[in-house]
Structures are given as C-alpha cells and as structure tokens.
C-alpha cells in the first residue's frame, strides 16, 4: 500500500499560500501617523474625555443622571423621533435619489440645489424659517409650534440630504445593461429592484441612515424656536445637556452625552450588520 501522507521533506503543494501584507513605505507610514494623530485629537480624545467626566461621580451618580424623569423623557423623545425620521428618510431619500438619477424633467438642477440647503443653512435660521411657516402666524394655516410634531418636522428638515446624497452617486454608477438583461429573461421590475438594484444600494442607504440618525439625536438649533423646549413634552437631549451645563452640572451633561454616544454607536453597528446581511442574501 502506498502511503499518501506528506513527508517532512516533501512540499505541501495543496496548501494555500500565505500572503504577507505589504509593508508600509516611509511616506505611507508618515501619512498614517498624521491621520491617526489628527483623528485622535478631533474625535478619540474628546470622546474619551466625555466618558471620563461622566464617570467622575461613580456609577450611582451616572445612573441617577440618565434615569432622571425629565432626562429620560428627553432621551426617549430624541431617540424615538430620530429613529422614525431615519425610517422616513430611507424611503423618501431613496425615492428622491432615484428620480434625480433616472428621470429628466424641468427644474431638475434647481431641485439638486434645494436638496443641499439644509447642509448650508445655519440651523437657527432653519428654525426661524420653520417657525414662520408652521407657527402661530403660519401663512399655510398650520400651527404645530411647541408640539412633538414640530420636533419631527425639524429633524426631517435637517436630515433630508443624507440618504439622497449617499444613494445618488451609487445609483448613477449602476449598469443598466444588467437590469435590461434580467427583464429580458422574464424578471419583473420589482424582482430586478429587489435582487439587483437594492443589494447594490444597501451599503449607501445604511450609511445615509446612520448619518441621518446621528444628526437627529444631536440636533439643537432648528428646535430652539419651533419646539419651545417644554420639559417632559418637547425638550430634546441637546437642550437638556445645555441646561445641565448652565447649572454647572458637567457630570450630568457628560452622562447624557455618553448615553447618546452609546446609542449612536449601537445603531451604526446594527445598520452595518443589516446591510451586510442584505447584500449577502442579494
């Protein structure tokens, strides 16, 4: 009987070669070091400082700060509204991006410019505009000032462009030949969208949704005038944090900021997992 075992002197040709990573050049290493230092100065160190400040009084003080009735109501309103607005933006933002890429119509360039206005407009000015349109002196006859719908509307205004601008370039790069080939083989438009287009757009939609949610939970300027900042009713976390700072209670402000940081991080991770699963199934 001939043995099939590999001898120590015999090369294992069936084994997969191990690829060694390319070493960084001096220029690349310098660039990486500068980038990480800049990122640390702007993001990592400030975030770490917030977490350290939040833990100064210990766990009991931290828990008391975030479970305070008024603070808990602000967190619930902010996170819940930001989540609902993100769901709306996923649908409407994708539809707007589709219209801008796939359709031609009069005023398309003007619409492209208008979509970016929330990016360029100071949020306090956005709040003034929204108050003029949907306040007591509304020319439309709609008065939602100092109500929860006002918070929802303000979030919608400031987060509108995120999904549109992340999905639009990806959609523009998709090859129409693949869609036409699938339809020629009998696939319906819905099947083409679900099996071909949507998996390609999912990473961009997830990125836009994460940006939309993060912007929502951190919004302040557009809410100051329209929502009224009523405790237990329309007060959001950004206003609650400012109130804590004005009362010289930095530990409480840092505790609320830490909770928002943890929630935002969890949502980003969840969206990443969902989009990976959808791409894999697609």
Instruction: Please classify residue 21 by burial: count the beta carbons closer than 10 Å to its beta carbon, then call 0-12 exposed, 13-18 middle and 19+ buried.
Output: exposed
Which tokens is 256 given? Answer: 């609320």
The Cα–Cα gap between 238 and 121 comes to: 19
pTM for the full predicted model = 0.79
- Give the model's pLDDT for residue 85: 95
CB distance 208 to 165 below 8 Å: yes
DSSP-based three-state secondary structure for 122? coil
Say what the pLDDT of residue 282 is: 56
Which pLDDT score is estimated for 19? 52
pLDDT tens, residue by residue, 21-74: 567 777 777 888 888 888 888 888 888 888 888 888 788 888 888 888 999 999
Burial of residue 192 (number of CB atoms within 10 Å: 0-12, 13-18, 19+): middle
pLDDT of the residue at 83: 93
Q: What is the dihedral of CA 59, 62, 64, 68, to 10 degrees?
A: -160
Local structure of residue 136 (DSSP, 8 states):
T
Greatest Cα pair distance in the chain: 97
Q: Which stretches of the chain score pLDDT less than 70?
A: 1-22, 278-282
Q: How many degrees, rounded to 5, is the angle at CA 181 between CA 180 and CA 184?
A: 85
């Amino acid at each position: 009987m001939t043995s099939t075992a590999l001898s120590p002197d015999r090369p294992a040709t069936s084994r997969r070669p191990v690829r060694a990573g390319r070493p960084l050049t001096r220029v690349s290493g310098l660039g990486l070091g500068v980038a990480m230092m800049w990122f640390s100065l702007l993001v990592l160190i400030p975030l770490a400082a917030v977490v350290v400040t939040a833990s100064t009084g210990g766990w009991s003080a931290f828990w008391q700060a975030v479970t305070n009735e008024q603070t808990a109501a602000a967190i619930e309103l902010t996170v819940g509204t930001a989540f609902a607005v993100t769901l709306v933006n996923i649908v409407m933002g994708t539809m707007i991006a589709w219209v801008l890429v796939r359709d031609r119509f009069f005023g398309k360039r003007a619409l492209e410019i208008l979509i970016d206005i929330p990016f360029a407009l100071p949020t306090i000015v956005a709040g003034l505009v929204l108050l003029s349109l949907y306040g007591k002196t509304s020319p439309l006859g709609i008065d939602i000032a100092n109500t929860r719908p006002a918070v929802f509307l303000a979030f919608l205004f400031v987060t509108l462009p995120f999904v549109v601008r992340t999905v639009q370039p990806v959609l523009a790069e998709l090859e129409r030949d693949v869609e036409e080939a699938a339809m020629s083989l009998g696939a319906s438009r819905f099947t083409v969208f679900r099996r071909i287009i949507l998996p390609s757009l999912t990473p961009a939609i997830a990125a836009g949704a994460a940006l939309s949610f993060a912007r929502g939970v951190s919004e302040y300027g557009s809410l100051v005038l329209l929502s009224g900042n009523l405790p237990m009713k329309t007060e959001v976390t950004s206003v609650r944090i400012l109130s804590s700072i004005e009362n010289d209670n930095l530990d409480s402000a840092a505790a609320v900021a830490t909770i928002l940081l943890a929630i935002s991080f969890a949502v980003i991770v969840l969206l990443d997992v969902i989009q990976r699963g959808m791409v894999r199934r697609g």
